[in-house]
Structure 1
Amino acid sequence: MASLNVGNLGEYLREQRRSAQLSLRQLADAAGVSNPYLSQIERGLRKPSAEVLQQVAKALRISAETLYVRAGILDAEREREEVETRAVILADPSLNGRQKQVLLQIYESFRKENGTEVQHDRQEHPADGPRTAGSSGAEPSS
């Protein structure tokens, strides 16, 4: 296996490094990573951690989020956080089923409004149990 599907990340990093007029060694020093390791990232042979990407982004003065997306970290992280948030809401013993559903609807509407809604079918929620007819009609007003 020659590449770990991080070629786009490597190409993007190389392009950003050249735009910043930095040598590979200069960027490696500024980011606190080894020159060979950074070279392997640029060639798509290594998949860096979020921490390394953050250091590189800081050294290049670009958004770490951009690198996370290119590395495939951010979408997976957002989806994991969404699942965890939903699980916490559903596990809260102080809320009844209707309250949990309304809270999840509000959470989903905020995610959609902020453009962070994960694109998959929102009608199926196996962990939620069956949906009741009354659970979709009323959202509390502000």
Structure 2
Amino acid sequence: MVKATVSGTVGALGDYLKEQRTQSRLSLRQLAEQAGVSNPYLSQIERGLRKPSAEVLQQIAKALRISAEQLYIRAGILSPDDGVGGSVELAVLGDTGLTERQKQSLLDVYASFLALNAADEALAPADSDEPGEADVSTALSDQ
């Protein structure tokens, strides 16, 4: 079921990118050149066959002159429910000192903490304290 959601997200992203490209009156080749990606790779993204990295999405957004954050949401990198616009995620994604793998690892750990806290809130009585150090260690070992 998770795989269907991921492929659905990638497909929706591809449809959105194609729509934005055609509205900008750019050919696939022109957008690929402006974004610094190969023509076949961009075609695969548009057809929902590839999930691009945050860096590639940022390059495409810049070439299309649209919000990179909107592409991150459509790609499932950011959640639209993040109250402050996903400031943690945006900070990680915008850090040029990190590799793509490091960025993804940090985002995965952050998401696991959020999920752990949500689960704790659902199970704990209203007057409970914050999760203890053992809970954080458990969350890290699950990675």
TM tier relative to shorter chain:
0.5 to 0.7
Unaligned runs of 5+ residues in structure 1 are: 88-119, 133-142
Computed over aligned residues only, the root mean square deviation of the Cα atoms, in angstroms, reads 3.5
Alignment partner, residue 30 of structure 1: 34
1:83/1:4 Cα in 2 relative to 1: closer, same or farther (>3 Å)? Answer: closer
The aligned runs of 1:47-126 (5 Å cut-off) are 47-75=51-79, 77=89, 80-81=109-110, 120=118, 123-124=121-122
Which amino acid is 2:19 matched to? E
**TM-score when normalising by structure 2:** 0.56
Q: Which segments of structure 1 move beyond 3 Å, counting only runs of 4 or more?
A: 76-85
**TM-score when normalising by structure 1:** 0.56
3-state DSSP class of the match of 1:22? coil
Structure with the higher helix share, 1 or 2: 2
Between the aligned partners of 2:120 and 2:51, the Cα distance in structure 1 is 31
Query: How much does 1:7 deviate?
Result: 0.7
Between the aligned partners of 2:120 and 2:69, the Cα distance in structure 1 is 25
Alignment partner, residue 43 of structure 1: 47
1:4 aligns with 2:2: no
Unaligned runs of 5+ residues in structure 2 are: 81-88, 90-106, 130-143
3-state DSSP class of the match of 2:73? helix
Which of the two has higher C-alpha Rg? Answer: 1
Percent identity reads 61
Number of aligned positions between the proteins: 97
Q: Which moved more, 1:73-82 or 1:48-57?
A: 73-82
